[in-house]
Every structure is written in structure tokens, then in C-alpha cells.
Structure 1
Amino acid sequence: MRALLWLAWASLRRRAGSFAGSFLVLFFGATMVMSFASMLDTSRGTGVDATSVETLTTMGGVVGGWGMCLVVFAVVSTLGLSVRQRAAETALLKSAGATPAQITRMIVGEAALVSVAAAVLAVGPSYLLGRALLGLLTDTGQVGAGTAFAFGTIALLVGFGITVLSAVIGALWTARHATGRSVAASLADADPGRMTWKRLVPAGVLLTGGLYLGVLTVTAFRDKGTDAMPIAAQASILTSMGLAILAPGLVRAATALTGRVLRGRGVSGYLTVQHLRQRTSQAAGALMPIIVFTGIGTGVLYLQLIEDRAVAASGQLRSVEHQSIQTLNLVVIGMIVVFACIMLINTLVASTTYRRGEFGRLRLAGATPRQVLGMVRTESLLIVATGTVLGTLAGSVTVLPYSVVRADRWIPDLPLWILLGIITIAVTATLGAALGTARRMLRTPAVDSVAL
């Protein structure tokens, strides 16, 4: 065991750049989880009134709980990409006599070391973000002005526990897949991303749960007013995560639907189809955060807009409860925007950097840098188009039912600019990260790229 931990530490030192992506996701995830968990520490302070306790508990429990789900989801997918990119290294270790159990322990050891480092460095930013969050709640009158901020046991235990546990689970999940492949398949560096029960079962549970909550909103909660908000909001979250888990199958479906059109675009289109078919899992890694970002973003933003219009139409002044709900939703949106964009950019930079050798081989085979960039651009546009369409569908599981509850109509009269703004952010982040990294990779001579 000691030897494997030493090997994990040596691997981290030699390949620090390849672990940077996983570290960033773990760091920002730990920061988000600990900052919200600090609201639970604050609620246990002396002299905190009952209303403030309820608000702080809701902020720390509900929003922080969904934040934990997003962190676990992001860490598992990011570590999965990192392990898949080391398929050749894994194959060589197996050829040298390492057993699957030994390789798994090495990968888990690496993930544990990175997660502990990320959690330790996240303590300071978490403290500052937690204070800022309490200040926001105090300024809006949802928490008493004299409430003292506390950052203690709950924040640290939850932050370190979720960060390390999600990293270990993600490493175990992907290591089993990597060690289960044959040496020849690993060295071929091709991963078509087959859909197995390990994806289909959790995806089916999440999608069923999301649709159930959408139906529940228009049935049991139709006359409940604002009480239907948390039920409706959770519908898009579950549906988005369910569709994201199915990302490999969705990439293959999108490739099959557009394959003929893409081939008609010349060399770039042909290369795009071949890449998406042979390395489906890499493309799926970029598709997942786009679905989550678009689905939850549209669902919660339009949900809040429907509620604001319902309150305005009733002629009532905005209550403290309404203001509290609005703050919660805006914080959720901010959390999702930042974290999903980090996850998306991080995934694209890591996956595109890994393709340095592929770009070199294509150029040695006769492809020009312009054609290689055209391939990356076409892939990115296909992925972001697929992700935003599916994300919009996931968001509708929240928007349509809640529109019935508060506006008594299935098709809400809502501005399109919110959806266009979300799509613009997704497109900009996707193309910026993928093309920017590809241009940097193409500056290296083709021969040197293949040799690296």
C-alpha cells in the first residue's frame, strides 16, 4: 500500500498539469459546499432569532444540498475524463504485471491526495464567500442584522467529506472501467462510450424523478401557490442530470443524425464524424456541463420570472418570503453559472490538450491547421447545439408546470432573451475554450506533437 501511495505521489509530481483540471473542479466545488455549509454553523450561534435560523438552515440545507449534488456530479465526470486519458499508461502498467486492484488503488490514491489539497486551499475562499453570503441575506432583511458569522465544524466536515468522498467515488467508478479494458483496446486510444446499466439505471431514476415532480407540480401542488416552487425547481435539476448521464448515447445519436450533412462539409466534416464515433466519451464530457447549465439555468430563471409576474399581477407588495425565495433562486443561478462554466471550460481545455498527438498525426497525414481548426469548430458547434436543445427541454419540465400553477396557462408569455443569453454563454465558453486550446496546440510542430 505504501508503495502504491508513493507511486501516486510520484505520478502527481510528474504529471501535475494533467491533474490541474481535476484540482480546479475539486477546489471550486469545496469552496461552494463549505460556504453554504457555514450558514448551518451560523444558524447555531447564540442570539439568532427563529426567522433567521429558518432562512440560514434553508440556505445551507436546500441550496447547499443541491450544490453537493452538482459537485459530486462534476467531480465524477472530470475524474472520469482524466482516467480515460491515461488509458495507454494503464495498459503499460498491466503489461508490466500490475493487477487491476493495484492500478485502482493508485488512481484512488492520486484522487484522494488531490482532493485533500483542494479542500485545504478552499478553506480561506470559503470563509470569505460565506461572509459575503450572510451579508447578502442581512442586507435583504432575511437575517437579523446582529447575526454573527460562524465558520466551524459543520462547514469543514461537510466540505472535506464531500470533496474527498466524491473524488474517491469518481476515481473508483472510472478506474474499474479503465482496468476492465484489454491492453490492446487501451493502446488503441478509442472509446466509443457504450451505454451500460451503470449509466442507464441512474439516468432512468433521475429522469423519472424529474418528470414525476413536474407532474406533481400541476396536480397535487396546483393550488398551493409558492409552495410549488421548490417542487418545480427540482424537476429541471433532476432531468438535467439524468440527460447528462446519457451524454455518450446522445453524442452518438447527434452524430448519426448529422453525419451525412457533416461529411458534405469536406475534410473538416469528415474528421468530425470520425472523431465523434471513435472518441465518444471525450465529446460526452463537454456535453454534460452544457446540458446541466442550460437546463437548470432556464428552469430556475424562468421559474422566478413567472413568480415575479404572478406577484405583480396580484397587486401585492413583495413579502419577505418572496424576497427570500428570489434571493435563493438567484444564488442558485449564480452558483450554477460559475460552476458549470468552470466545469465546461476545464473539460474542453483538458480534452483538447490531450489531442495534441492526434492533431500532429492529422497534419503529418496532410491536413492543414485550418482544417484541424475547422474540425474542432464543427465538433464544438454540434455539441453545444445538442446540449442547449436538451437543456431547454429539461428546463421546460420546470417552466411549463409552474406556468400552469401561477399563470394558468401551459405556454408562458416569457421573454426569449433569457434563453438566448444562456445559449450565448454556452456557445462562447465552448468555442472559446476549444478553439483557443487547439490554436495553442497547433503552434507546436507536427513532428514534436506526435513525439510528446
Structure 2
Amino acid sequence: MLTLALSSLRSRPSRYATSFAALLCGAVLLMSFGSLLDTAGNDGVDAASSSVLLTMGLVVGGWSLLLVTFALTSMQTLHVRQRTAELALLRMAGATRAQLTRLVLGETVVLALIALAAALVPSIAAGRWIVSRLSESSLIAPTTAATFGGFAIHLGVGVTAVATVTAAVVATRRATASTVIAAATDASTESARVSRPLAVVAAVMLFLGVDLAIVTATVMRGVEGFDPMATGGPAAIWFSIGLALLAPVLVPRVTARLVAPFAGVGVTGHLAAMHLRRRTGQMAAAAMPTILFTGIALATLVMLAIDDAARVARGVAKTADYRNAETTNLLVIGMILAFAALMIVNTVVATTLQRRRELDQLGQIGFTASQRRALVAVEAAVVTAAGVAIGTVGSLATIIPFAIAREAMVPAEGVLVWLGVFAVAEVVAVTSAVLACQRLLVRGAHVGLQLGWLPAASPSRDLLSRREG
């Protein structure tokens, strides 16, 4: 099975591109913050600098660990689920479930090893950049030298291996439990449900988010400094993860309302509405990173806006140290949000590329390339809007309690922040979907031209001619 796994990786590298990107960026994020723990342990680092490095490495690195684990597990589960029909066919041909598990594990391990090797140099550079920013912000001594060692490597390797291998085993066992016909049906019309273990995990995440929200609104009320942020910020992360885990149930209900106006707008709108009502599993997978991106971005940015408004109302000026710490925190959160945005791209591209056969069939019955691109764009826009709506609910676990803690109203800038987050999520998702669709159309046109499937005046032939021109 290892030989077959290596052959699969060599013959179809594009299939694993999104998984590789997720593994690479996740490892970079983990190891870059893990390097702060290595730096804190250096002999020449003073006690104050070591405390800052340890705090940031453990707190921010801990949140990065949670998000990366969630993202890698979701991506691996999506990748295996898209191969349900293929794995079921191998099962019908005589392969045992253990053999198929070893096949997927072999692919996963090889891909993870390549990603970890490729992540070493970027991780070292990112770790040095974070240390330099902390030094420039006067949070640590300027003589502190960045170190990349055991903590960083063990964190990157350990989380990547555990998350991907566990997800591969669980997803493969589920995928190989179906017949070929059942697998094909499940791939296109998966029911909106959440397994009991997943529901329990989601409930725990939601509880932790509510608990931190209550602490922020009560214990931290009137407390100055960063302490209310330390409890209020993570509340949205926990709550958003809980909502993302419930996406198979929540997303179809939200998209059913959002897609209704498109149902009567031409054939493309009607087909998009029909697809969104049936593809609950794909919709949930595509919306999960958007929920996280929206929840974290909106909570962080609005929280800072509330803090600024409260300080202006009280006539309290920000000290230089406060501004430096705030800037550094924004840069760190920006790295996490960049990872979340990349996961949106990866998920949208993976779900779109999986629809090659469907898009080819639409072309054969008369859909033009523009109509197929519009179909994919509408579906991506609606699913992203659903993710933003759910993520907005998740962000309230931080926004409302922090406003109470600061005894201030949410400023009007919060609306502009929401519009900005919504616009970024929509642009990233729709652009990724359309570009992935365009790639499929061009590839299909090449194949059809070579095999003589395309007539002289077909839209696909015209598209291919313009592309080559």
C-alpha cells in the first residue's frame, strides 16, 4: 500500500495541493511561535524578556495550536470524504479496510514529512521576525537573539502528525463503510447531521466561550490594562470553534434563507439554489474556515475599537508601552487571520475542483463557460455569507462582554469593521472558486479537443481558443 500511496502522490500531485498548503502553513505558524519558547530558555535572556516570550509562546502559541489542529483535521477529513467513491470501489475490488487505511495513512505521512521539511526555513524566518518585532516594541531586550530548537520542532511535528493521522484514520473508516452506490449518493447529498462525539466537543467549546464571556463581563468589569482582553478575546475563539463544529446543522438553515432570492433569477440562480439545498456536507466544510475567520477577526478588531472609545471617553492616553504591545498583538493576530484566510482558499478550491465531472456534464447539456463560472461564484458567495453570519454570532461572545467590562458602547466603527471582514471573506472565497472553476473548464476543453468531443462552434472551444491566444 505504501507503493500505491507514493504512486498516487506522483501521478496526481494537484489533488494533494490544498492539503499540502494547509500542512505547510500550519507547521510554519506552530513552529514560529514554538521558537519563542526556545528563545526564552537561552542563557543570555533576562528574566523580564523570558517572561514575555514564555507568555506569548504559550498563550498565542496555544491558540495557534488549537486553530491549526482544527484546520488540519477538517482539511484531512474533507480530502478523504471527497474520495469516498474511489475508496468504496477499491473495497468492492477486494481491498480490506485495513489496507485502505494504510493507503491513506501512507499518503498522509509522506505529504506531512514533505510539508514539515519545507516549513523549516520559513519557520526560522518567521520566528526571528516575531522576536525582532517584540524587540522593536521594547517588550523584550534588544540584545535577545532568536533561537529555533527542540520546542519548535516537536510542536510542529507533533501537532501535524497527531491531527492528520487521527483525521485520516477516522475519515477512512467512515468512507470505507459504504458501498459504491451509497458512497456516490453520500458525496452529493450528504445529510445535515453532527455525530454525537462531535456534538459533545462542540458543546464543550461553546461552554468555554460562554464561561470566559461571563468572566469578562463580571470579574473584569472596570479592570484596566490587558486583563479583560486576555479573557474576552479567547471567548470568541472557543465559541466560534463550537459553532464551526455545528456547521453541518447550522449552515444549511442559514443558506436556505440566503439563497431564496436567487431561485427565481434565471437557470443559473435556480440551479445554484438547488445545489445549495442538497450539498449540505460540502457547504458545511466550505463555511467552517469562514466562521473562524469572521469570529476571530471581528472580535479582535471591534474589541480594540471599544478599548479606544473607552479611553477617549475617560481622557486616558495610551502610553508608549501600551501602543507597542497593541501593535505587536495586532501583528500576531494578523498571522493567525492570514492562516484562517488561507484555509478559506484551500477549502473553496478543494470543493470546487472536486466538481469537475459535474461542470463537464453541464457543459455537454448547453451551459456556457460564463454560466458555469457564475454558478460557482453564486454558490461560493452564499456559503461565505452564511459563514460570516454564523461567525458574527461567535464574535459576540467577545464584543458584548468586553463592552460591559470597559463600560462603553460599541462604536460606530464596528459596522465598518464588519463590512470589511465580510468583503474580505467574500472576495477571497469567490475569487478562489472562480479561478478553480476556470482551471477545470480549460482542462476539460483541452481533453475534449484532443478526443474530438467539442464541435467547431462550442463555447468550450471558444474558451480554449481565447486562452491559447
Give TM-score scaled by structure 2 length.
0.90
Q: Deviations over 1:273-301 (max 9, x none)?
A: 33224332222222111111111001011
Q: Deviations over 1:383-410 (max 9, x none)?
A: 121111111221121011111111x145
Q: Distance in 2 between matches of 1:321 and 1:229?
A: 16
Q: Deviations over 1:221-246 (max 9, x none)?
A: 22333322111101110111111112
1:345–1:433 Cα contact (<8 Å) kept: yes
Structure 1 residues 104 and 320 mapped into 2: Cα distance closer, same or farther (>3 Å)? farther
Q: CA deviation at 1:94?
A: 0.4
Q: Distance in 2 between matches of 1:398 and 1:449?
A: 53
2:363–2:369 Cα contact (<8 Å) kept: yes
Q: 3-state SS of the aligned residue for 1:416?
A: helix
Q: 3-state SS of the aligned residue for 1:51?
A: helix
Q: Distance in 1 between matches of 2:315 and 2:408?
A: 20
* Residue identity opposite 2:83 in structure 1: R
* Residue identity opposite 1:351 in structure 2: T
Q: 1:107 aligns with which of 89, 104, 107?
A: 104
Q: 3-state SS of the aligned residue for 2:172?
A: helix
Q: CA deviation at 1:187?
A: 3.2
Pair 1:217 & 2:216 matched:
yes
Structure 1 residues 100 and 231 mapped into 2: Cα distance closer, same or farther (>3 Å)? same
2:251–2:387 Cα contact (<8 Å) kept: no
1:294–1:392 Cα contact (<8 Å) kept: yes
Q: Distance in 2 between matches of 1:449 and 1:147?
A: 61
Q: Distance in 2 between matches of 1:418 and 1:255?
A: 23
Higher deviation after alignment, 207-216 or 311-320: 311-320
1:360–1:449 Cα contact (<8 Å) kept: no
Q: CA deviation at 1:444?
A: 4.1
Structure 1 residues 415 and 13 mapped into 2: Cα distance closer, same or farther (>3 Å)? same
Q: Distance in 2 between matches of 1:148 and 1:368?
A: 58
* Residue identity opposite 1:201 in structure 2: V
Q: CA deviation at 1:313?
A: 4.3
Structure 1 residues 254 and 313 mapped into 2: Cα distance closer, same or farther (>3 Å)? closer
The equivalent of 1:305 in structure 2 is 305
The equivalent of 2:31 in structure 1 is 34
2:233–2:300 Cα contact (<8 Å) kept: yes
The equivalent of 1:179 in structure 2 is 176
Q: CA deviation at 1:97?
A: 1.2
Equivalent residues in 2 for 1:142-157, closer than 5 Å: 142-157=139-154
Equivalent residues in 2 for 1:1-400, closer than 5 Å: 4-188=1-185, 189-195=187-193, 196-226=195-225, 227-258=227-258, 260-319=260-319, 322-323=322-323, 325-400=325-400
Q: CA deviation at 1:258?
A: 4.3
* Residue identity opposite 1:53 in structure 2: S
Q: CA deviation at 1:335?
A: 1.6
* Residue identity opposite 2:166 in structure 1: I
Q: Distance in 1 between matches of 2:314 and 2:48?
A: 25
The equivalent of 1:420 in structure 2 is 419
2:255–2:383 Cα contact (<8 Å) kept: no
5+ residue gaps, structure 1, are: none
* Residue identity opposite 1:14 in structure 2: S
Q: Deviations over 1:411-437 (max 9, x none)?
A: 445443222221111111011111122
Report the number of matched residues: 448
Q: Distance in 2 between matches of 1:435 and 1:110?
A: 28
2:45–2:144 Cα contact (<8 Å) kept: yes
1:40–1:56 Cα contact (<8 Å) kept: yes
Q: CA deviation at 1:339?
A: 0.5
Q: CA deviation at 1:155?
A: 0.8
Percentage of matched positions with identical amino acids: 38
Higher deviation after alignment, 262-271 or 187-196: 187-196
Q: Distance in 1 between matches of 2:191 and 2:33?
A: 35
Q: CA deviation at 1:260?
A: 4.3
* Residue identity opposite 1:296 in structure 2: I
Q: Deviations over 1:22-69 (max 9, x none)?
A: 011100110111011101000111121221111101111111111111
Q: Distance in 1 between matches of 2:121 and 2:264?
A: 53
Q: Distance in 2 between matches of 1:430 and 1:345?
A: 6
Q: Distance in 1 between matches of 2:448 and 2:69?
A: 34
1:401–1:410 Cα contact (<8 Å) kept: no
5+ residue gaps, structure 2, are: 454-469
* Residue identity opposite 1:62 in structure 2: V
Q: Distance in 2 between matches of 1:14 and 1:144?
A: 51
Q: Distance in 2 between matches of 1:61 and 1:259?
A: 42
Q: CA deviation at 1:360?
A: 0.8
Q: 3-state SS of the aligned residue for 1:180?
A: coil
The equivalent of 1:442 in structure 2 is 441
Q: Distance in 2 between matches of 1:371 and 1:157?
A: 48
2:137–2:328 Cα contact (<8 Å) kept: no
Q: Distance in 1 between matches of 2:204 and 2:328?
A: 26
Q: CA deviation at 1:306?
A: 2.2
Q: 3-state SS of the aligned residue for 1:149?
A: coil
Q: CA deviation at 1:319?
A: 4.3
Q: 3-state SS of the aligned residue for 1:11?
A: helix
Structure 1 residues 299 and 399 mapped into 2: Cα distance closer, same or farther (>3 Å)? same
Q: CA deviation at 1:317?
A: 4.6
Q: 3-state SS of the aligned residue for 1:225?
A: coil
Higher deviation after alignment, 27-36 or 93-102: 93-102
1:304–1:329 Cα contact (<8 Å) kept: no
